[in-house]
Amino acid sequence: MDSTAAADNGKLSNLPQQHKFVTGHNEEGKAVVHSHEDIEWRAYDENRLAFSVVYTTSASPPDLNGDKDVLIHQGVMESGKLGLVNPGGSVLRYVDFEPGYRCGMHRTQSLDYGIVMEGNIQMVLDSGETHDLKRGDIAIQRATQHQWVNKSQTEWARMLFVLQECAPLYVGGQEFGEDLGTHSELPASRKP
């Protein structure tokens, strides 16, 4: 990674640096900003793809009392063991795709909301279907085998994903679980 990316919290793309504002309550019960910081990025696949995990939960519903969810999120991030999905909880993640980048075909055992924030992305399904998504479009991935393609040869693309673990999926009597495909740099999603 070059020094420019390192100076910008690991961000690889020329897209805007994102910030997170975590809210909470003061002693009088009034809403306040608990913390505010730039989101940090991690490069994958020879710096052609970058992830930023903005927040996680580890239970549904999450317990917000005494900042328990904040402390649990910090523990998840410090563990270094977060896969694509956080079993029993959720993951909020930005993904930046280099111009011309095609990620590997993969499946998560989750219900995912994938929102195109910048650029255009092609969604490719293992059936051969392809769909072009533009800024503001949302893919609701229901544990399907898929990949993302940034068809632009000049512009980075960014998506924001909310992933929630789903019950085991069966189609025609066959169980379909997580398949990371060529995402060998990512740990498998597993129960804590």
Q: Which two tokens stand for residue 95?
A: 């993904």
Q: What is the DSSP string of 124-142?
A: EETTS-EEEE-TT-EEEEE
- Give the mean model confidence (pLDDT) for residues 37-61: 95
Classify residue 9: in a domain, yes or no. no
Mean pLDDT of 6-21: 84
Range of the domain at 75: 48-168
| Residue 103 covered by a domain | yes
Residue 9 vs residues 54, 80, 110, 114, 117: alpha-carbon distances, Å: 13, 17, 28, 23, 19
Residue 8 lies in a domain: no
pLDDT of residue 184: 60
Q: Domain for residue 5, yes or no?
A: no
Looking at the predicted structure, is the pLDDT value of residue 171 above 70? Answer: yes
- In this structure, is residue 28 part of a structural domain? no
Q: Return d(Cα 157, Cα 150) in angstroms, integer.
A: 6
**What average pLDDT does range 166-178 have in this prediction?**
93
Q: Is residue 64 part of a domain?
A: yes
Structural domains of the chain, count: 1
The answer to whether the CB of 107 falls within 8 A of the CB of 124 is no
Can you give the pLDDT at residue 90?
Answer: 97
Domain with 142 in it: what CATH number? Answer: 2.60.120.10
CA-based end-to-end distance of the chain: 31
pLDDT band at residue 6, thresholds of 50, 70 and 90?
A: very low
- % of the chain residues with pLDDT over 90: 85
User: To the nearest whole number, what is the mean pLDDT of the chain?
Assistant: 91
Mean pLDDT of 159-188: 88
pLDDT at residue 117 greater than cutoff 60? yes
Residue 116, domain member (yes or no): yes
**What sign results for the dihedral spanned by CA atoms 73, 13, 9, 182?**
positive
Q: Is residue 15 part of a domain?
A: no
